[in-house]
């Protein structure tokens, strides 16, 4: 497979396994020799059965786990070769994360939780406040700014987490089962807001989920199965 220069993220022959926890010499092979690319501004879903390796794939793609062999490139550069300074910038501003369970800081309000993401990356308090207010209003939470996480519903926490993930204008959002812990009604709302934020902010979305309805909303779909990645659409 050849890669397009437009690819913002590329997997080049990437293999990942885990050592067995019992200290034996065996390993759990998760995926092998995967070559794959994501174009800027495109939403991609990785689907697969439980245990097929979706979360591992996302962790490797986001530089949170190292591959055994092969290279993951962000804008043409090997993420494993980033300096520590570049790694911090990559994690704080180039990418954003949304997980199934998102941990907001319990002693801070919704607004402060979103603002902190930007202040940690060096944005002034005034600018951070303005953007955080805009984003929280965009996800329908302008009347919940001063609520702490214990005073928010699960769906609302997930929407704060989405605002936090896009706060620093990342290029890529990594989402791992972002609606997995929600009831149908909240899942539908979070889903709709995720896709409208992605469009509004012109983001690349890398989503892993076993949920067919959610993955069908993405521009491209892949199936992770038997250590391989197969393109579905």
Ligand X SMILES: Nc1ncnc2c1ncn2[C@@H]1O[C@H](COP(=O)(O)OP(=O)(O)OP(=O)(O)O)[C@@H](O)[C@H]1O
Considering the rule CB under 6 A, would residue 51 count as an interface residue with ligand X?
A: yes
- Tell me the closest approach of the beta carbon of residue 148 to ligand X, in angstroms: 29
Considering the rule CB under 6 A, would residue 24 count as an interface residue with ligand X?
A: no
Structure tokens belonging to residue 18? 């885990």
Of 50, 83, 85, 150, the residue at the interface with ligand X (CB under 6 A) is 50
Please identify which residue in the block is written with the tokens 């591992």. Answer: 56
Nearest CA-CA partner of 95 in 159, 41, 168 = 168
What is the pattern of x (binds ligand X, CB under 6 A) and - over residues 172-211?
Answer: --------------------------------------x-
Choices 51-59, 89-97, 125-133, 149-157; region in contact with ligand X by CB under 6 A:
51-59
For ligand X, give the closer residue by CB, 30 or 72.
Answer: 30
* Spatial separation of the C-alpha atoms in residues 38 and 16, rounded to whole Å: 19
- Tell me the closest approach of the beta carbon of residue 231 to ligand X, in angstroms: 18
Considering the rule CB under 6 A, would residue 47 count as an interface residue with ligand X?
A: no
Considering the rule CB under 6 A, would residue 56 count as an interface residue with ligand X?
A: yes
13, 72 contact by CB (below 8 A): no
Considering the rule CB under 6 A, would residue 37 count as an interface residue with ligand X?
A: no
How many Cα atoms occupy the beta-carbon half-sphere of 111 within 13 Å?
Answer: 16
Choices 52-60, 119-127, 152-160, 184-192; region in contact with ligand X by CB under 6 A:
52-60
For ligand X, give the closer residue by CB, 56 or 109.
Answer: 56
Tell me how long the chain is.
Answer: 233
57, 46 contact by CB (below 8 A): yes
How many Cα atoms occupy the beta-carbon half-sphere of 97 within 13 Å?
Answer: 18
CA 165 to chain centre: 8
Choices 48-56, 78-86, 102-110, 212-220; region in contact with ligand X by CB under 6 A:
48-56
How many Cα atoms occupy the beta-carbon half-sphere of 28 within 13 Å?
Answer: 11
Binding residues for ligand X, total number by CB under 6 A? 13
Instruction: Tell me the angle at which helices 154-166 and 110-120 cross, rounded to the nearest 10 degrees.
Output: 20
Write out the residues near ligand X by the rule CB under 6 A: 18, 21, 28, 30, 48, 50-56, 210
């Amino acid at each position: 497979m050849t890669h397009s220069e437009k690819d913002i993220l590329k997997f080049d022959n990437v293999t990942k396994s885990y050592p067995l926890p019992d200290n034996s010499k065996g390993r759990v092979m998760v995926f092998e020799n995967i070559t794959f690319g994501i174009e800027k501004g495109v939403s991609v879903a990785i689907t697969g059965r439980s245990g097929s390796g979706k979360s591992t794939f996302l962790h490797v793609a986001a530089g949170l786990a190292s591959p055994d062999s092969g290279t993951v490139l962000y804008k043409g550069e090997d993420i494993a070769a980033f300096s520590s300074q570049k790694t911090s910038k990559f994690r704080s501003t180039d990418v954003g994360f949304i997980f199934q369970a998102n941990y907001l800081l319990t002693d801070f309000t919704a607004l402060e939780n979103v603002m902190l993401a930007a202040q940690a990356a060096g944005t002034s308090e005034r600018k951070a406040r303005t953007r955080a207010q805009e984003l929280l209003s965009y996800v329908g939470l302008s009347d919940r700014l001063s609520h702490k996480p214990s005073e928010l519903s699960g769906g609302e926490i997930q929407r704060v987490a989405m605002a936090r993930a896009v706060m620093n204008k990342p290029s890529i959002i990594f989402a791992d089962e972002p609606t997995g812990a929600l009831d149908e009604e909240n899942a539908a709302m979070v889903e709709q807001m995720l896709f409208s934020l992605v469009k509004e902010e012109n983001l690349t979305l890398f989503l892993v989920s076993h949920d067919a309805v959610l993955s069908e909303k993405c521009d491209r779909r892949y199936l992770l199965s038997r250590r391989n990645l197969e393109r579905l659409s």
